[in-house]
Amino acid sequence: MIKKIMLVLLAALVVIQFIHPKKNKSEGPQPNYIGNVYAMPDDVKVILSKACNDCHSNNTRYPWYAMLQPVHWWMDKHVQDGKKHINYDEYTNRPLRYQYHKLEETIEMVKEGEMPLNSYTWIHKDAKLTEEEKAKLTGWAQSVMDTMKARYPIDSLVRKKN
């Protein structure tokens, strides 16, 4: 009996190797990328691309072991979930209030060390942000918020409290 179950599981493991979700890849320029509208210094670009963009952009860098299932499904879940919450490549097409709020969230998540996810930095050691990198990233997010405040009336960025 045990042997039969093992064989079935093994067969299932072989079969799922051929089933893969669609990769998060989008070639070419990203028209709604946050950096198109708000200045993004190179060092911030580097931080976002090594620590955040795998889950919050339209392009994920897939390691070789993403070829293995169920690893790919597990990664895809994070990517889809991450993109749903915030996508820096699909940013400037969102309402101003949304954009402003997600910058606040970016600062909060980075300050509290909630992002990048622990399961990610466990493998991607270089994505574990130093205090200096955190300061650069949150400083940039704050500067974008300041630019928005200078460009738009505050009512269009923050819902008025009654």
Residue keyed to tokens 């574990």: 128
Binder of ligand HEC out of 117, 142, 143, 152 (CB under 6 A): 117
Query: CA 51, CA 43: separation in Å to the nearest integer?
Result: 12
User: Does 52 help bind ligand HEC (rule: CB under 6 A)?
Assistant: yes
Binder of ligand HEC out of 44, 82, 99, 100 (CB under 6 A): 82
Binder of ligand HEC out of 24, 58, 87, 106 (CB under 6 A): 106
User: Does 145 help bind ligand HEC (rule: CB under 6 A)?
Assistant: no
Half-sphere exposure of 154 (CA within 13 A, CB side): 3
Query: CA 161, CA 41: separation in Å to the nearest integer?
Result: 34
Q: Are 21 and 69 in contact (CB under 8 A)?
A: no
User: Does 44 help bind ligand HEC (rule: CB under 6 A)?
Assistant: no
Query: CA 12, CA 7: separation in Å to the nearest integer?
Result: 9
When the beta carbons of 6 and 25 are compared against ligand HEC, the nearer one is 25
Which residues of the shown chain bind ligand HEC in the complex (CB under 6 A)?
Answer: 51-52, 54-56, 78, 81-82, 85-86, 102, 105-106, 109-110, 115-117, 120
